[in-house]
Amino acid sequence: MNDYETVIGLEVHAELSTKTKIFCSCPTSFGANPNTHTCPICMAMPGTLPVLNEKVVEYAVKAGLATNCEISKNSKNDRKNYFYPDLPKSYQISQFDKPLCEHGYVEIDTEEGKKKIRLLRIHIEEDAGKLNHDEFGGGSLVDLNRAGVPLIEIVSEPDLRSSQEVEQYLRKLKSILEYIEVSDCKMQEGSLRADVNVSVRKKGETKFGTRTEMKNMNSFRSIVRAIEYEANRQIDVLEEGGTIEQETLRWDEVSGKTFSMRDKEDAQDYRYFPDPDLVAIKLSDEYIENIKKGLPELPETRKKRYLEEYHLSEKDANIISSSKYLADLFEKASAICNNPKAVNNWIISDISRILNETEQEPIDIPFDSNQLGKLVLLIDKGTISSSIAKKVLAELFENPRDPEEIIKEKGWIQISDEGAIKEVVIKVLEENPQSISDYKAGKDKALGFLVGQAMKQTKGQANPQMLNKMFIEEMNK
């Protein structure tokens, strides 16, 4: 087992967040009723003509520049011919020999340091429709809302050597695409999905082994599991003297196995030819230069800035800068409360935990930086305790509004009035004489217990520092 090496190359599809489709003016938004986002062009009526959406070219060039690609000034669209019920034209408009972007790379962190994963190309193409199986008495229904939604396909060289590297690479790519705002990258909605090509070879071997391909995978977890399963399966076959067939496989999440779907097509099977209905794509140096100038700060640069400007730890800077949404939230909220350390802690601990528990992504955070900044200010001013702040955060996730309004409405203002604090302290001491003797006998835990009791009686609203101080004063009297 150990004398084998796994080789992986990915074809990543990202749906572009243009308002309209690639060759018609239908909307691209997700979740509409079936076949409501359609017109004669994306339904492939005879005689209709496609017109290329200029934004698609701009977004693809942006993605190419952000991943260190060369941009082709002369590019074109080609027809890729195949039949499938979700593809009403019986061909997909894609790009064959002249993709918009070529020869880029994405850098990932590995145990041995930074590693460049080379990109063969990035090209533009249209998405197919969607088949809904099994919902209606065993039949399948076709929904063409997705037909003609613009995609970029990012093809990597077979430079990846483990499932961990693949996960790193995908996370990095996702993060870059989010930063340059060309795709929302929502994997559950299929906005970002990968075809995963896997082969194995003996260590030291220079030729690649035969690969298999698993299509349309859209969760990190499945991708990692599928690669590990498939690599082991191939090794077993080879060890038993068999050969690997080049084929397309289906990953089954429930059984944790791959199954054969069909033999792999070659480029020649698709009979590519230039689409005669579309003009060539010619880009000027000035056009490319302008897009380059407009590129925002990318994750790597932001991370550096967080280390230097805000003195975040390497780990925290990595987590926050990896998501544009978290990074923007962090910076804007910090500007409001002037306490980046506290904002950092909220994002890394409580906010991340809630996102995990509710299986949401940073883009789904319902409150804004203003509200988070104000929450931190309220703690810093002593208006609320940190335990109340946690309750306010939960409210912000439920029904986001001004934190000040929330605490007024709920009556959650911290009790910092000396008289009121003293009253609780005396009451708790009367109720717990044993704790007083324990404390006097040197058991520090007793103090914590008493403060906890006082917190309980005030529903978490008493100022904990004041409680601590006053318990000690009273018991030392």
Own/partner long-range contacts of 107-111 (Cβ < 8 Å, ≥24 apart): 107/172, 107/300, 108/165, 108/168, 108/169, 108/172, 109/168, 110/164, 110/165, 110/168
Q: Which is nearer to ligand ADP, 10 or 446 (CB)?
A: 10
Task: Please list every residue from 2 through 21 that binds Mg ion, using CB under 5 A.
Answer: 11
- Residue 151 identity: L
Can you say whether the dihedral through the CA atoms of 75, 76, 81, 83 is positive or negative? positive
Contact between 396 and ligand ADP by CB under 6 A: the answer reads no
CB atoms within 10 A of CB 325: 13
From the list Mg ion, ligand ADP, Zn ion, none, which binds 26 (C-beta under 5 to 8 Å, kind-based)? Zn ion
CB of 9 to ligand ADP, least distance (A): 2
From Mg ion, ligand ADP, Zn ion, none, which one binds at residue 325 (CB under 5 to 8 Å depending on kind)?
A: none
Residue 72 CB-half CA count within 13 A: 21
Q: What number of other Cβ atoms are within 10 A of residue 371's Cβ?
A: 21
Which of the residues 206 through 235 are near ligand ADP (CB under 6 A)? 208-209, 211, 213
Q: Which is nearer to Zn ion, 26 or 180 (CB)?
A: 26
Considering beta carbons, is residue 149 or 198 the nearer one to Mg ion?
A: 198
Closer of 237 and 307 to ligand ADP (Cβ) = 237
Does residue number 128 form part of the binding site for ligand ADP (CB under 6 A)? no
Interaction between residue 67 and ligand ADP (CB under 6 A): no
Region label for 138, one of left (φ > 0), alpha (ψ between -120 and 50) or beta (otherwise): left
Distance CA 94, CA 127 (A): 9
Q: Which stretch binds ligand ADP (CB under 6 A): 143-151, 192-200, 218-226, 457-465?
A: 192-200
The distance of closest approach from Cβ of residue 56 to ligand ADP in the complex, given in angstroms and rounded to an integer, is 20
> Does 10 contact ligand ADP by CB under 6 A?
yes
Site for Zn ion in 29-88 (CB under 5 A): 39, 41-42
Kindly report the backbone phi and psi dihedral angles of residue 170, in degrees, each rounded to the nearest multiple of 5, phi listed first: -65, -40
- Alpha-carbon dihedral of residues 35, 39, 44, 47, nearest 10 degrees? 160
Residues between 135 and 164 that touch ligand ADP (CB under 6 A): 155-158
Candidates 53, 145, 162, 197; binder of ligand ADP (CB under 6 A) is 197
Q: Which residue is nearest to ligand ADP (CB)?
A: 9
- Residue 291 CB, shortest distance to Zn ion, in Å, is 26
d(C-alpha 365, C-alpha 332), whole Å: 14
Between 195 and 300, whose beta carbon lies closer to ligand ADP?
A: 195
Closer of 25 and 216 to Zn ion (Cβ)? 25
Query: In the bound complex, what is the minimum distance in angstroms from residue 216's beta carbon to ligand ADP?
Result: 13
Cα gap 378→407, rounded to integer Å: 10
State yes or no: residue 9 binds ligand ADP (CB under 6 A). yes
CA distance 371 to 404: 9
* Interface mask toward Mg ion for 183-212; x: CB under 5 A: ------------x-----------------
Q: Select the binding partner of residue 24 from Mg ion, ligand ADP, Zn ion, none (C-beta < 5 to 8 A, by kind).
A: Zn ion
CB contact burial 274-283 (16+ within 10 A = b; e otherwise)? ebeebeebeb
Residues touching Mg ion: how many (CB under 5 A)? 2
Partner from ligand ADP, Mg ion, Zn ion, none contacting 199, C-beta within 5 to 8 A by type: ligand ADP
Cα torsion through 92, 95, 100, 105, rounded to 10: 90
Whether the Cβ atoms of residue 234 and residue 266 lie closer than 8 Å to each other: no
* Residue 213: closest CA among 196, 234, 200: 196
Helix (H/G/I), strand (E/B), else coil: 190: coil
Which residues of the shown chain bind ligand ADP in the complex (CB under 6 A)? 7-11, 155-158, 197-199, 208-209, 211, 213
Residues within the interface to Mg ion (CB under 5 A): 11, 195
Q: Which residues bind Zn ion (CB under 5 A)?
A: 24, 26, 39, 41-42
